[in-house]
Amino acid sequence: MHRLTAAACLSLGLLCSPASAQVADLVDKNSFRVCADPANLPLSSQEGAGFENRIAALLSEKLERPLAYTWFPQVIGFVRQTLTAGKCDVVIGAPQGDELVLNTNHYYTSTHVLVTRSDSDLSDVTTLADPRLQGRRGGVVAGSPVTTHAARRGMMKFAKPYDLMTDRRVENPAGDMLRDLREGVTDFALMWGPIAGPMAKEFPELKVTPLVEETGTPRLFFRITMGVRAGEIEWKHQLNSLIRRNQAEIDAILRDAGVPLVDDYGKMLKAPG
């Protein structure tokens, strides 16, 4: 299974940290304990406004256990300081193939997107191969998978890079990218869909186009799972069952948030229902 680099994880709003020793059999039977970043909107926030917060609340209700959070910024050491340390029992968003956690079945698949202004001549662009993107200034997250595709097409000469390694409590590169796009500093932005989609919902002048036509490596779509500790197979199976039984409600939360959902192979938008 492909292992995500730290750069790829960060471009997804996640963070990989150094591998840690296995810790098992620590799942709390009386509460649903979640590890989360307190300032990582649109995914999670201490106020409960992120779509991962809403999914956590749904699962807590289905388990009939009160929801309890351990808050920690998704910087180096996140998994080690929270999940592996036994302070919580699940990370709601973990890319499939991340070796730092035991992955559940994936509960959604999304992809990187192209964000443009709705009144722009680029608003109907669907692929990075479109010649209209040449010579235009695009916002990119340095080190993210989609930036490699942009570089391959010679688009980096005019690109404006935004920081990858950030603490969302004090910095907001995704918000900066969308602000620059709205103000005309850039002509388009290349972003991870679950971050761009929900944030762009606040601005009707922006259009989000999933990049489902791209070929070559690295792939731009990722299957997102929940992460548990290594060895906790029974807990993983319990969560798999919860995901399966409540997939429609999970999809509804994601769609309502503005997350672009694609099929398992990143080739087309996932049909509703």
Residue 249 φ then ψ, to 5°: -70, -35
- Residue 245: inside a domain: yes
Region 174-186: mean pLDDT is 97
- Residue 217: inside a domain: no
H or E stretch covering 103: strand 102-103
Q: Is there a single domain that holds both residue 46 and residue 137?
A: no
Pull the structure tokens for residue 245. Answer: 């039984």
Task: Check residue 170 and give its pLDDT.
Answer: 81
Mean pLDDT estimate for the chain: 91
188, 210, 232 - which closes a domain: 210
Give percent of the chain above pLDDT 70.
90
Q: Is there a single domain that holds both residue 38 and residue 101?
A: yes
CA distances from 235 to 12, 60, 104, 230 (A): 25, 14, 9, 10
187, 210, 233 - which closes a domain: 210
Task: Check residue 143 and give its pLDDT.
Answer: 87
* Residue 5 reports pLDDT greater than 60: no
- Residue 154: inside a domain: yes
- Residue 2: inside a domain: no
Q: Is there a single domain that holds both residue 83 and residue 119?
A: no
Q: What is the DSSP string of 149-194?
A: HHHHTT-GGG-EEE-SS--TTT--HHHHHHHHHHTTS-SEEEEEHH
Pull the structure tokens for residue 61. Answer: 């209700």
For residue 95, the domain's CATH number is 3.40.190.10
Give pLDDT tens digits for 233-254.
999 999 999 999 999 999 999 9
* Number of domains the chain contains: 2
Give pLDDT tens digits for 124-175.
999 999 999 999 999 999 889 999 999 999 999 999 999 876 677 788 999 9
Q: What is the DSSP string of 198-252?
A: HHHTT-TTEEEEE--S--SSS-SEEEEEEEE-TT-HHHHHHHHHHHHHTHHHHHH
* One-letter amino acid for residue 188 of the chain: F
Task: Check residue 10 and give its pLDDT.
Answer: 45
Domain carrying residue 89: 32-107+222-257
Task: Check residue 171 and give its pLDDT.
Answer: 83
Pull the structure tokens for residue 117. Answer: 């202004």
pLDDT band for position 3 (50/70/90)?
very low
Task: Check residue 123 and give its pLDDT.
Answer: 98
- Residue 92: inside a domain: yes
* Residue 118 reports pLDDT greater than 90: yes
Task: Check residue 13 and give its pLDDT.
Answer: 63
Residue 23 φ then ψ, to 5°: -130, 125
Q: Is there a single domain that holds both residue 158 and residue 231?
A: no
pLDDT band for position 4 (50/70/90)?
very low
151-170 as b/e, with b when 16 or more CB fall inside 10 Å? Answer: eeeebeeebbebebebebee
- Residue 87: inside a domain: yes
Sign of the torsion formed by the C-alpha atoms of 37, 146, 175 and 58: negative
Q: Is there a single domain that holds both residue 87 and residue 39?
A: yes
Q: Is there a single domain that holds both residue 99 and residue 231?
A: yes
36-45 as b/e, with b when 16 or more CB fall inside 10 Å? Answer: bbbbbbbbbb
Q: Is there a single domain that holds both residue 46 and residue 102?
A: yes
Q: Is there a single domain that holds both residue 86 and residue 177?
A: no
CA distances from 136 to 35, 98, 116 (A): 40, 35, 12
Pull the structure tokens for residue 95. Answer: 């890319």
Pull the structure tokens for residue 246. Answer: 């409540």
Residue, of 264 and 19, whose pLDDT is higher: 264
Q: Is there a single domain that holds both residue 184 and residue 247?
A: no
Q: Is there a single domain that holds both residue 102 and residue 230?
A: yes
Task: Check residue 163 and give its pLDDT.
Answer: 81
210, 231, 246 - which closes a domain: 210
Task: Check residue 165 and give its pLDDT.
Answer: 63
Q: How much is the pTM?
A: 0.89
Report the alpha-carbon distance of residue 77 to residue 15 in Å, rounded.
Answer: 9
Q: Is there a single domain that holds both residue 236 and residue 191?
A: no
Give percent of the chain above pLDDT 90.
81
- Residue 3: inside a domain: no
- Residue 264: inside a domain: no
Give pLDDT tens digits for 32-47.
999 999 999 999 999 9
* Residue 22 reports pLDDT greater than 50: no
Q: Is there a single domain that holds both residue 44 and residue 120?
A: no
List the single range of 80-89, 203-212, 264-273 with lowest mean pLDDT.
Answer: 264-273
